[in-house]
Structure 1
Amino acid sequence: MKSLHITELGDASLQSYLETRRMLLRQADVLCVRIAKMEPVRTMEEMEQLLALDHDRKLVMDMIASCSYVIEWLETGRRPGNRRGIERRAGYQREIPMDPSRLPAVSDRGAEPSSAGGMNEAARFRLEGALRGLTERERSCYTLAHGESFSFAEIAAMLNISKSSVGTYMVRAQRKVEDNICIHILVG
């Protein structure tokens, strides 16, 4: 029966992980030397001993990898392997949810025109004219994003297209709307 040796590692600090990794590296070296001395294998018993030592070496190597992972995390403050840290997230990942009650009130379409010469009606006319120049997909993306305040990911899921396609449609739609509004202002 094998005896199990338990080592008290102390607190989980960077120093304790570095010391543990050093100890494991020494143990892995000892196992590698023992494996090298056993070769060439001549009997079945030697083969079983060699396989047991190799199994132990693999376990120690896995522990070394785990310690290295934790050490990198403690040294950098980031999860190892991540391509982006929290400070380098994409725009949609940086969005901060907000309570709708704190947003400014927006008048709906049925509201009365303002007393300043029907500005709401004129603005709505220009916008409808600008939207006429869009394709059906561009119009859908534009109205869902600007009118309904859906994110690109939500729009992509609703329309069954990729998020990058939504972005492309939005860029095209925005450009066309800006051009069409300028034309309506000049003509009107």
Structure 2
Amino acid sequence: MNDLIREYNQALRELEALRVIASEDDSAIIGGMMSDVRYALEWMRSARMPGNRRGIERRSSYQREVSIDSVQLQAYVRNQETNESTVSAWDKEKIDNCLSILSDQQKDCFYMHVAKLYSLEDVATILGLQKTTVQNHVERAKKKIQEYLENKPAVQFELF
């Protein structure tokens, strides 16, 4: 950390030297850069966000604690416990066989939307695609898997 602070101090000195010889427009930009470097230095030195009077550890108990209804907490914990499921090795192999017929993009879209429960918009943003493209990939993947399962009766199981 000390090496990083030393490098930031060096950068600040270089910016100050540049500001002296820079034009008025450049001087304003360099001033902003100097402000950013000073902010980062203060954060590194104090290990706190600059401008705060005191750290979070010194806040009053009313500011640190959030009251939660115990019934709601129990319901949440119960939901988390019941949502966990185990998939056997045989089921994993069957799923892999079903997914092997999909293209890479179809597989990515299908996995993120159906298994990870991302919205179509989120999948599109993550993969850099249009929402309608993702929707088409998911629909085609479902159709391919359905056709695969209809032709392979020994592999049928509840997928959707």
TM-score class normalised by the smaller sequence: 0.3 to 0.5
Q: Which protein has the bigger helix share?
A: 2
Structure 1 length as normaliser, TM-score?
0.37
Higher relative contact order (CA 8 A, sep 6+): 1
